[in-house]
Amino acid sequence: GKQSLQLMLSGMTCASCVASVEKAIRSVPGVTRASVNLAERTALVSGEAPVDRLIEAITDAGYGAELSE
């Protein structure tokens, strides 16, 4: 995986969703830092985790995610 990437998120309704998504991202091996921005609907992820594993973890938690260019 890349050192740092941005994901576009969907399905976040309230501020507590942020904590849930960050927890899901941080559960993926290789992630060193995860920061979700509710207003922007983005997640900034640092580390060496594969993108597909990140998206899978977020999807399993009940949200949507795709790689942002």
**Which listed range, 16-24, 25-33, 34-42, 52-60, lies at the site for ligand 9UX (CB under 6 A)?**
16-24
Tokens of 13: 């309704």
Of residues 3 and 14, the one with the C-beta less far from ligand 9UX: 14
Of residues 44 and 61, the one with the C-beta less far from ligand 9UX: 61
DSSP 20-44: HHHHHHHTSTTEEEEEEETTTTEEE
Which residues would be at the binding site for ligand 9UX (CB under 6 A)?
A: 13-14, 16-17, 20
